[in-house]
């Protein structure tokens, strides 16, 4: 199968799979108690496997091999996509398919600790992607609007906007949730019990269980069993973690004063001095907002700990904080805090980059400049710096970020000019300017900005800020409800 034929086959398969997903989502939405029986044939469907392959092939991690040493490129070159998918489908059909252990890779975190990443084989990733294509439309019908992480059409900005919306409307006490090693400690039996509420096909359940139980080949080359958790890096892991953590969403939704209460009931509770609550969750990061007192927030924190324990999860006592919106909180890289608007007596809730996020990006800029060999041209440095700065500014653009962007531009300019001085230790400042000068927006009439013939250093100070529109419950799904 040549490239044009493959692209045509993928396009046709995507259209068919979208129709299948639309039907599954509609059936799940129409009947919240429906248990789907025959899903295995959809997982092993040639079109579903083709779409799963295409998504895995275009994934950033496709170049990384699992324990078998194969990547998407090597499979396409040595075996052929059509032959590979036919063999994978046959092994699924005759039940000879067995997931291989994931290859462990420890990734350093910002706090100095390590995060375990599990890299599955290319065959396992394709089957996981096929499972996700079939299961996601079903569970999306059950997931509540308060959940934003790893869900289609939803993003971190929606979660931050919702926190800002409710804290601006008297939900002033906040429980900042922190779950200890969430992805590593989810109970497999409790998770599978929740999956069985919607999936009755024993072959699909066996596949999900097999992926959960797949061993881990550590960096020390020791094979270990996996009796809890959903390995990070797995394609199926985000969906399974949302299934597990939906116990928290449902508890808050139907708690007195929660989103399930109507406006009249919430007003009645306010008059009686009883709390109303709202939850915003992005994967395992969550924030509970309380229209009440600190005591109410402390009581709810204890109740949430009990709810999470049913999934084998624990709250971190030292990191699960209770704060007031006037003190502010950090959530998904943002600082959310209420303070007086300059020049007025009115108070507003503002969102701007958190200090940890600024420290992280300046640290990245500094590291790139330090690691770049001064024997390389300036353009090589800019090729690494610009995408990092552009991505960071794009994320923090919808907020009160102008001052931070200006500081970041100033900091980056100094790091790059220091690198140029190390590159040309005997060159005068005047000659450096004449060689690398370009128009910029940095400091007055005599300013200059590092520039090459190919590109200019990205200037964060020139990025304009916006306000992200709060979408509430109006976020669409990828699958239309109407038949």
pLDDT at 100 over 80: yes
- Give the helix/strand (H/E) hosting 412: helix 402-423
Strand pairing category for 216-217 and 102-108: parallel
Give the angle 135-141-144 at the CA atoms, nearest 5°: 120
Which of 155-169, 172-186, 281-295 shows the lowest mean pLDDT across its residues? 172-186
How confident is the model at residue 4, as a pLDDT? 67
CB hemisphere CA count around 145 (13 angstroms): 14
pLDDT at 439 over 70: no
Say if residue 218 is exposed, middle or buried (CB neighbours under 10 Å; 0-12, 13-18, 19+): middle
Distance between CA atoms of residues 24 and 139, nearest Å: 10
Contact call for residues 417 and 437 (beta carbons, < 8 A):
no
- Give alpha helix (H) positions in 168-275: 182-185, 188-196, 202-213, 237-253, 263-271
Q: Whose CA is closest to 334, among 320, 352, 322?
A: 352
pLDDT at 477 over 90: no
The length of the chain, given as a count of residues? 483
Distance between CA atoms of residues 130 and 145, nearest Å: 25
Q: Whose CA is closest to 201, among 37, 366, 2, 341?
A: 37
How confident is the model at residue 443, as a pLDDT? 44
Read off the pLDDT band of 441 (50, 70, 90).
very low
- Helix/strand/coil for 13: helix
Predicted TM-score (pTM) of the model is 0.91
Contact call for residues 281 and 245 (beta carbons, < 8 A):
yes
Say if residue 385 is exposed, middle or buried (CB neighbours under 10 Å; 0-12, 13-18, 19+): buried
Q: Which pairs with CB-CB distance under 8 Å and at least 24 residues apart come from 108-115?
A: 110/356, 110/360, 115/232
pLDDT digits (tens, 9 = 90+) for 321-356: 999 999 999 999 999 999 998 888 899 999 999 999
Q: Which string of DSSP letters, residue by residue, matches 77-129? A: HHT-HHHHHHHHHHHHHTT---PPPEEEEEEE-TTS-EEEEEE--HHHHHHHH
How confident is the model at residue 399, as a pLDDT? 94
pLDDT digits (tens, 9 = 90+) for 112-165: 677 778 889 999 999 999 999 999 999 999 999 999 999 999 999 999 999 999
Share of the chain above pLDDT 70, in %: 96
CB hemisphere CA count around 324 (13 angstroms): 7
- Helix/strand/coil for 274: coil
202-213 and 122-140 helices, crossing angle to 10°: 120
- Helix/strand/coil for 472: coil
Copy the structure tokens of residue 123.
């065959």
User: In this structure, how many other beta carbons lie within 10 angstroms of the beta carbon of residue 168?
Assistant: 15
Mean pLDDT of 65-76: 88
Contact call for residues 177 and 286 (beta carbons, < 8 A):
yes
pLDDT at 447 over 70: no
Which of 311-320, 359-368, 473-482 shows the lowest mean pLDDT across its residues? 473-482
Mean pLDDT of 375-395: 96
Distance between CA atoms of residues 123 and 137, nearest Å: 23
């Amino acid at each position: 199968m040549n490239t044009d034929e493959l692209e045509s086959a993928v396009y046709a398969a995507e259209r068919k799979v979208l129709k299948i997903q639309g039907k599954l989502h509609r059936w799940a939405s129409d009947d919240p108690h429906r248990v789907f029986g025959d899903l295995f044939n959809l997982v092993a469907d040639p079109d579903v496997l083709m779409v799963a392959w295409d998504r895995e092939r275009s994934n950033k991690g496709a170049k990384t091999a699992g324990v078998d040493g194969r990547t998407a490129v090597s499979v396409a070159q040595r075996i052929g996509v059509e032959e590979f998918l036919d063999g994978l489908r046959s092994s699924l059909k005759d039940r000879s398919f067995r997931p291989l252990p994931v290859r462990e890779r420890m990734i350093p975190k910002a706090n100095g600790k390590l995060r375990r990443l599990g890299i599955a084989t290319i065959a396992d990733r394709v089957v996981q992607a096929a499972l996700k294509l079939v299961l996601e439309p079903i569970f999306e019908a059950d997931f509540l609007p308060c959940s934003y992480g790893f869900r289609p059409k939803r993003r971190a900005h929606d979660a931050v906007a919702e926190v800002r919306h409710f804290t601006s409307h008297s939900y002033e006490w906040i429980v900042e949730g922190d779950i200890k090693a969430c992805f590593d400690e989810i109970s497999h039996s409790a998770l599978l019990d929740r999956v069985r509420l919607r999936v009755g096909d024993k072959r699909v359940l066996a596949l999900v269980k097999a992926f959960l139980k797949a061993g881990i080949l550590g960096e020390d080359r020791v094979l270990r069993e996996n009796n809890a958790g959903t390995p990070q890096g797995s394609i199926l892991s985000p969906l399974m973690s949302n299934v597990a953590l939906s116990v928290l969403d449902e508890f808050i939704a139907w708690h007195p004063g929660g989103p399930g209460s109507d406006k009249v009931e919430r007003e009645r509770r306010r008059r009686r001095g009883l709390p109303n609550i709202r939850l915003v969750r992005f994967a395992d990061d969550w924030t509970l907002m309380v229209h009440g007192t600190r005591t109410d927030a402390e009581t709810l924190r204890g109740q949430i700990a009990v709810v999470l324990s049913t999934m084998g999860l624990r709250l971190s006592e030292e990191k699960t904080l209770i704060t007031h919106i006037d003190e502010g909180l950090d959530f998904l890289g943002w600082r959310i805090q209420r303070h007086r608007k300059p020049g007025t007596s009115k108070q507003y809730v503002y969102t701007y980059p958190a200090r940890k996020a600024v420290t992280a990006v300046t640290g990245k800029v500094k590291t790139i400049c330090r690691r770049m060999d001064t024997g390389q041209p300036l353009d090589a440095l800019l090729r690494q710096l610009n995408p990092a700065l552009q991505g960071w500014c794009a994320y923090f653009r919808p907020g009160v970020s102008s001052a931070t962007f200006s500081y970041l531009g100033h900091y980056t300019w100094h790091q790059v000019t220091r690198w140029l001085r190390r590159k040309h230790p005997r060159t005068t400042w005047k000659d450096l300017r004449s060689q690398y000068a370009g128009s910029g927006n940095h400091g007055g009439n005599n300013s200059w900005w590092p520039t090459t013939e190919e590109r200019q250093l990205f200037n964060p100070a020139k990025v304009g800020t916006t306000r992200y529109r709060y979408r509430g419950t109006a976020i669409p799904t990828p699958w239309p409800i109407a038949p």
